A and B are shown apart, each in its own frame.
Chain A
């Protein structure tokens, strides 16, 4: 049975300082501290218990001497009143949305994250020396072979064998870039020259070297086996997805998440469901990306050749059938209906005239700008101005960002986004986390994904477990929160047999 597709998006942003020393770690710390110092006291985040080396394919953690654990060095780590985590990761500011129950909410809180980044830039600009500038980009590569991620997370039934998870999503992760790719001028494929490709569909495709694997910074796998559920591991798995581009277009974000959630649900409900399979996914992800005409023929597992769009039509049919058979409750009925509508519209547009979906697909919106600009100024494909447009499409500064000027279709209202900057979603444990931080910032010692730790003064620290992402919702805890004047009262009330 498909478990509710609780999901979330973590985005590593590009960061650059001009007019002062360019240290991305300290700049990231400054960016976050400027925001949290201005808005709220910073609440710490415990790095406990879970082992990033734990691999979904084996029951035991690996020998610690076999390879280096990827332990984060996290100089700044804030948990916000909307339940999000905002922190420095690998020399990038990273914004992780709170857990949400639906793809549309993922868009809303992802957009809220963008606004928080913009407010952070404004706050940080007041703190940097005169003439210094902080540039933040919601992208995935610097064009010089360095890449950083936009990751998704999906709650999956633990009883579904991991091999089934892999086959549910592999072909989708290779081909969904045709609607979810954010486009890139040039090439970063190892061994190929930068101008070997004029323009490609995906920011990230050049960086994938493995089909399945544990790593995230080198030898990147299309399907990541990280097994850190941050919740009850006997019931749930958290599928951690690194094979996606950061999107500026809300429809692209929405469809990226909704389509993946539906396909996972379809396989959870029917593990014997036959999914499209490719002969060489690692080769295919680059083949697809390097051909914006969408004609690239990739090899299916049965030896036939197929285009990415054909694979996507098959996946669309699988998702639609699942929705018709089940009502789509695991993802949300209205989200499913909306996603299927966009998915069909966009695939149809891609088949006949891609420019008709320039308001829904980042790589096409960007390509439209770049082509037109190149024509106006008679520029060759790899010209600096075009690479600058590529970057500036993702610029988070309001006065400089190009994406917001492209007439991209929106799904979230300004009001929804504004509220989500400070308020958590109602329907996951992020509600409890966010409200506790808002109500009792001085007593929350640490806020983790799966627990809150309170410091009530003289007493020992109190840890409130949050093992189930679907508990700690407004429905379950709004009353007890409202009736607790202090953290002490809250902890006492939660300890009682009936919550």
Chain B
């Protein structure tokens, strides 16, 4: 779970502590995403248009 510390903006001079808002990113790293995109480039149906057009199913439940 990411640690979250709320930023409180003091409206007047006071002794309220200003804490910076830190949101730890739990997002999968961008490098992984680039690798994944490379992989998709490799294995995605070559003729996407034909594939998508030909993908027809009978209705089921």
| Interface contact B61-A12, CB-CB below 8 Å | yes
Bound Cα distance from A455 to B8, whole angstroms: 77
Report the contact-size class of chain B (Cβ under 8 Å from the partner): 20 to 34
- In the assembled complex, A90 has its CB within 8 A of some CB on chain B: yes
| Interface contact A407-B28, CB-CB below 8 Å | yes
- In the assembled complex, B56 has its CB within 8 A of some CB on chain A: yes
Contacts of A473 in B (CB 8 A): none
Bound Cα distance from A268 to B45, whole angstroms: 48
| Interface contact A216-B2, CB-CB below 8 Å | no
- In the assembled complex, A307 has its CB within 8 A of some CB on chain B: no
Task: Tell me if B's interface is mostly helix, strand, loop or mixed.
Answer: loop
| Interface contact B2-A148, CB-CB below 8 Å | no
Kindly specify which of A382-390, A412-420, A428-436 makes contact with the partner chain.
A382-390
User: Given A147, A242, A369, which contacts B36 in the complex, CB threshold below 8 Å?
Assistant: A369
- Knowing A369-B36, A391-B51, the reply to whether A385 touches B44 (Cβ < 8 A) is yes
- Knowing A353-B23, A391-B51, the reply to whether A376 touches B44 (Cβ < 8 A) is no
- Knowing A142-B55, A356-B2, A388-B45, the reply to whether A92 touches B40 (Cβ < 8 A) is no
- Knowing A372-B33, A373-B40, the reply to whether A148 touches B57 (Cβ < 8 A) is yes
- Knowing A384-B52, A392-B45, the reply to whether A12 touches B33 (Cβ < 8 A) is no
Distance in angstroms from A210 CB to nearest chain B CB is 14
Distance in angstroms from B8 CB to nearest chain A CB is 18
Please provide the chain A residues from 217 to 246 with a CB less than 8 Å away from any CB of chain B in the complex: 217-218, 242
Task: Tell me if A's interface is mostly helix, strand, loop or mixed.
Answer: mixed
Please provide the chain B residues from 26 to 48 with a CB less than 8 Å away from any CB of chain A in the complex: 26-28, 32-33, 36-37, 39-40, 43-45, 48
| Interface contact A405-B52, CB-CB below 8 Å | no
- Knowing A388-B44, A391-B52, A407-B32, the reply to whether A356 touches B26 (Cβ < 8 A) is yes
- In the assembled complex, B60 has its CB within 8 A of some CB on chain A: yes
- In the assembled complex, B58 has its CB within 8 A of some CB on chain A: yes
- In the assembled complex, B10 has its CB within 8 A of some CB on chain A: no
| Interface contact B61-A148, CB-CB below 8 Å | yes
| Interface contact B57-A146, CB-CB below 8 Å | yes
Bound Cα distance from A144 to B54, whole angstroms: 10
Bound Cα distance from A399 to B43, whole angstroms: 8
Contacts of B27 in A (CB 8 A): 353, 355-356, 358
CB closest chain-A residue, reference B49: A384
Bound Cα distance from A392 to B48, whole angstroms: 10
Contacts of A399 in B (CB 8 A): 43
- Knowing A16-B54, A358-B28, the reply to whether A387 touches B48 (Cβ < 8 A) is yes
Q: A92-B58, A142-B55, A148-B59 are in contact. List 8 more A-B contacts (CB 8 A).
A: A12-B61, A16-B56, A217-B59, A349-B26, A358-B27, A368-B28, A384-B51, A402-B40
Query: Which A residues are closer than 8 A to B by beta carbons?
Result: 12, 14-16, 18, 24, 89-92, 141-144, 146-149, 151, 216-218, 242, 345, 348-349, 352-353, 355-356, 358-359, 368-369, 372-373, 376, 383-385, 387-389, 391-392, 399-400, 402, 405-407
Query: Which B residues are closer than 8 A to A by beta carbons?
Result: 1-2, 23, 25-28, 32-33, 36-37, 39-40, 43-45, 48-49, 51-52, 54-61
